[in-house]
């Protein structure tokens, strides 16, 4: 079945049986870009969202996806912890800048692809939840916190991300100090 449909009147385009107007009512900003990306994802092709790749949980909060923002924050914390732990042992083999390039390259790929798919599922999940409702009912169903963009939410998530990263930095430094002082032969 074709994922992108067009009515005989030629005025309405669809992605996964949902009119673009309904999709735009949720996305609100950068609609043309998301139309192209959603068409790719509907055709089961990969797409990457560079904002999600660079900003992760902050981007998800900006897009009103709170549950996904906390999932991404947890994944970012785990990813950061594991990478910094690996870097602690690899710093003797590779320069720090190479490790940072590897870290950000992997971060961009993993969270860019994951974020794009999460936003696709978020938008079409909202649309499925109101598929058989009238237009006036849909306006009441989509509160502003789920649609469009929210810079205030992004700032809150950024503050939370900083707190989590500071906590992880303290834990990693304490673990590194313990390893160095308890096993001086290994690190000399």
Q: Break the chain into its structural domains and give their ranges.
A: 4-182
Cα–Cα dist 5/16, whole Å: 8
pLDDT top residue among 119 and 18: 119
Cα angle: 83, vertex 85, 91; to 5 degrees: 90
Is the alpha carbon torsion for 112, 20, 45, 130 positive or negative? positive
How far from 122 is each of 44, 75, 83, 116, CA to CA, in Å? 16, 18, 29, 10
pLDDT (0 to 100) of residue 144 = 57
At 3 the pLDDT is 43
pLDDT tens-digit map of 111-145: 899 888 999 998 888 888 877 665 555 555 555 55
- What are the pLDDT digits (tens) for 62-81? 888 888 889 988 888 888 88
Of the pLDDT bands very low, low, confident and very high (cuts 50, 70, 90), residue 2 is: very low
Distance separating alpha carbons of residues 109 and 117, to the nearest angstrom? 12
pTM equals 0.72
Q: Which residue bears the tokens 């590194």?
A: 176
């Amino acid at each position: 079945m074709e994922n992108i449909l067009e009515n005989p009147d030629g005025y309405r385009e669809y992605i996964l049986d949902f009119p673009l107007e309904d999709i735009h009512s949720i996305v609100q900003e950068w609609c043309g870009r998301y139309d192209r990306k959603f068409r790719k994802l509907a055709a089961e092709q990969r797409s990457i969202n560079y904002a999600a790749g660079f900003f992760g949980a902050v981007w998800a909060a900006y897009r009103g996806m709170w549950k996904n923002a906390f999932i991404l924050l947890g994944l970012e914390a785990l990813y950061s912890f594991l990478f910094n732990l690996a870097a602690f042992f690899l710093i003797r083999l590779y320069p720090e800048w190479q490790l940072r390039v590897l870290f950000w390259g992997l971060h961009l790929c993993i969270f860019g692809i994951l974020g794009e798919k999460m936003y696709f599922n978020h938008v079409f999940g909202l649309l499925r939840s109101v598929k058989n409702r009238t237009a006036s009912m849909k306006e009441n169903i989509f509160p502003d916190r789920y649609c469009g963009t929210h810079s205030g939410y992004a700032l809150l998530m950024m503050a939370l991300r900083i707190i989590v990263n500071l906590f992880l930095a303290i834990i990693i430094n304490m673990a590194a100090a313990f390893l160095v002082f308890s096993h001086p032969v290994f690190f000399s």
